Chain A
Amino acid sequence: MPGKPTHDERTVATYCYQCVAGPDLLKVRVEDNIATEITPNFDAATIHPAGGKVCVKAFGLVQKAYNPHRILYPMKRTNPKKGRNEDPGFVRISWEEALTLVADRLNAARAAGLTDETGYPRVAASFGGGGTPTAYMGTLPAFLSAWGPVDMSFGSGQGVKCYHSEHLYGELWHRGFTVSPDTPLCEYLVSFGANVEASGGVCGVKRHADARKRGMKRVQIEPHLSVTGACSAEWIPIKPKTDSAFLFAMIHVFLHEHPRDRLDIPFLEDRTSSPYLIGPNGLFMRDAVTRKPLMIDSATGRAVPFDTVGIDPALEGSFVVDGIEVDADEEIIAHKAVTACTAFTQLVAHVKDYSPEWAAAICDVPAATIRRIADEFLAHARVGETIEIEGMTLPLRPVSISLGKTVNNGWGGYECCWARTLIGCLCGALEVPGSTLGTTVRLNRPADNRWSSVKPGPDGFMQYPMNPTSKSEWISRPTARSAHRTLVPLVADSAWSQALGPTHLAWMMQSEDFDKLPVATPPDVWFVYRTNPAISFWDTKAVGEAMAKFPFTVCFAYTRDETNHVADVLLPDCTDLEGLQLLRIGGTKYVEQFWDYQGFALRAPAVPPQGEAKDFTWIATELAQRTGLLAAYNAAINRGAAGVRLSGKSYDFSLAPEAKHDVETIWDASCRAASAEITDGAESQGLDWFREHGFRVKPFPRLRWYLYPKLVEQKLRFEQPYQEQLFRIGKELGHRLHEQGIHWWDKQLAEYEPLPRWHDLNVLWENALAKHYSVRIADYPFWLITARSMQYSWGGNVGIQIIKEVADNVAGHGSVVMNHAAAERLGIGDGDLVEVRSPLNDTKGRVMLCEGIRPDTLLMIGQFDHWVTPYAKDFHAPSMNALMPMLLDLTDATGSSADLVKVKITRLEAAS
């Protein structure tokens, strides 16, 4: 390699998974055993969708390793008092003392019972960034698995800062925990605030840049002109949280302003529930014997079960039929000669009043614009065309709709996700080439690929693992402090479910009782890794106060921060370039991570750990040994808790269960198993091979990007447009909650509508704030929103100088972004120091004036407000997190809210 002649120089291949849009592959240049440079890994140029490149965040890793603010030794708290104004008095201790302190607490908790008197787990753990910490925590998942019940419901931002409704409804409707356009084939994309250029990772950026060069038109609909809006063909500044009206109006245009043959009729008839008959009580009309939903055979005019072979289903119309409806709690309602119309006909009637003219006033977007977008979408849908993918002929529908944060979570998330998915169905543009695709599963099993998770369920749809709502099975006693399984059937019960419940309830319950739920206890031991809820959640003041009451908090700590300010023990783990881990790569993962390959990549230590930082696997193994769980821990690793199952049909690299294995032994076994898995047992190269090559892959069929072939194969339908199942389980859930005397979730129960109606969310927000804080909402004239930043989001890198330096090149970072004309009216100038106050709290920052934001909206990018984290605490950047109230009134049925609050702005001093 070129460069100045040096003494000892080498490159080490590793990966970056600092954000959910990873993992991506990179190389580290190491000179004299010091990491000096991050480069792409061009060895992966042909197998990685972005050519082996990594985004700007990866370039913070060198400074991350050598940051003088790192915590390099285990530390313990000496001040028993906890709180923002209490100096923790951390003092350096040995690893032996630190591990003993932690193990003693764990053993005491275990001795007292894995769950406390209220039924909640005694041990809790919070991890940040959409699951990305697992790419750095080695075998800790195996330890947690060996431990037993762990409460993972203390959220650090999920629900309010994730695509929450999309996660849940996306999985239900098309195995789309995250949803993406099929960007390589898409020709027309309507993006409601989806900020792919900031949060889509290198694969997203590359695929969308390629798509632009192909001529894909992307229309960005959002209140401010984000980097994604900047790179779009058109920006439509919509009023915050009114996206559902725009989407409903698009449906109206499709159904009321275009002839039916513009829609994909075969798709609607065969792949959706559109022809299913709806009974008088809003439930499917069913065959009295088989209980299968009925539809009308146009040829005979008879009502037949949906899976009757050789019929021509009637898509529209009202018919007189016999049958039953099955209501909540299996209540049968029998009908004779009752009039029932199809789900499609109900849909047409449902959206009759949702015209573009109606939406225009709500969205502050001209009706002509809404109509034009709908027309362009339909014109680009290419209904009737096909494409061949790996020998199979599939529909080609190069149109898609993306939803961003605050659109696809919180109130309105249901409407938006439903409308987006339904629009796909109307054009046949769901899970087919060019259209809207799911990219990963997290709630269904198995999670290794989406096809495997497709199994036949009732009524011709895919099976979905709802939490039970029947009288006998409903989980009346929550298993975690967010009561996720009790309150949210959709959140299921996978390893990810706890973190996807109403995680703010876990925090709220620490200070207020929820009638008829067990009193929430603080966990005996709370583990924290790569997350900082004290600044990243909503109502951060309340969260900070709640965590200060936890009796024993263990933080795996990189630097001091606002959360580990209340820790009892700080454990320094190896940073990204220092630790060892094998990670699954490829297939389809989050966001735009669609690969034509799948396999494994090694995070090989590029440089030795600084100070006494330890590999996470070493820490997990020590904890397992000190808590007497070594056998269970090893067994969990053998089962695949560290990412790869160590045995298969023709190979077995299982670890001896009783032995304590060193870090390299564990990962060598994982590498061997990975080699064997990829080669069907033919090869078994271990750690040394992966160190030399960095990664190992095999082809991943592109056909698997699309769920449609799997549904056709299993003769299944997408559960659209009519949400009979949700309607019924919502009723059941209501019965259960009311039987228990719980009425504080009633507002959420009302969201279980079979065809979601439009709700005025602006008014909902305003009323909730006015009611809870007794304010005149007119005094808070601005909507405050946030946006992700490629430089910072998920990275936990706010204390890294180079990240701050380059982020400052991107407009808006660290500022209150405000419309020029709006500011002028208030006498506010560029650079002025302002206070932005919500009914809950206030934040301060410098104003950045621009034209690319609505006059009624303020923007604060990212999450700041640090007061301990070295370097970052001197930014004086505003953050909306402290301004966001945690309110049940702002919590939807999935348990999420959205980054949105009303504020007023006051000028404090002139620009310096």
Chain B
Amino acid sequence: MYTFNFRRASSLEDAQQIHQSSSDAVYVAGGMTLIPSLKLRLANPDDVVDLSQIDGLGAISSADGAVSVGAMARHCEVAATTDIPALAALANRIGDGQVRNRGTIGGSLANNDPAADYPAAVLGLGATIHTNSRTIAGDDFFVDLFETALGDGEIITRVDFPIPKRAAYAKFANQASKYAVVGVMVAETDSGVRVGVTGAGACAFRLTSFEDALSANMSASALDGIDVDSSDFNSDLHASAAYRGSLVTVMAKQAVEQLTA
């Protein structure tokens, strides 16, 4: 690891001030991606700003038909919630037990790993992301590989998930890392059927062709014959783009089967 200054932020204002006054600062939430990156010398910040001492940033609550998850809520805490079983089940399959005890939803979303699970939940459930300065629709949040709509120094404070009528998440996990090779969240919400896909592309996306088909007929067979364009999909030693394309349909069908069971 390169050297850096470890800075504890006492409040959101303090965190942003430290960030602004540094030539190169990075926030650390749970650190499940950042710390391995630092150890591999893939990151070399001057200042690492710890968000864990900020009061109230990890609270989870339910009101007005939505579950509000504080940015510092750990995956294990989301896994223990009951209002959106599909979200809890998704959180319970992130990484391993020790990772779920440290990793946070805010950190995961801000990092926007193409194989992370939460982005599929944000898109599939139509979540809203709140930051220290504004509100961002989940549909506008994921921009590209490891790139989000967050501005420089902006901090996610909470994520609001509207409670769906029914929802399910199916994931084909990498056996070693448990990251999603492909993961699909299918949800029937007040604003219609939504399908969020992670793992397949540079960042998570909605699949409107699936949404249209499932709006007409919420059954796995409704997805038969719908072409998934995999030309821009990720291709690596774990899976080719075409294989991921095939998995999108298979995982979506599994999610629909779970949701209608």
A complexed with B: no
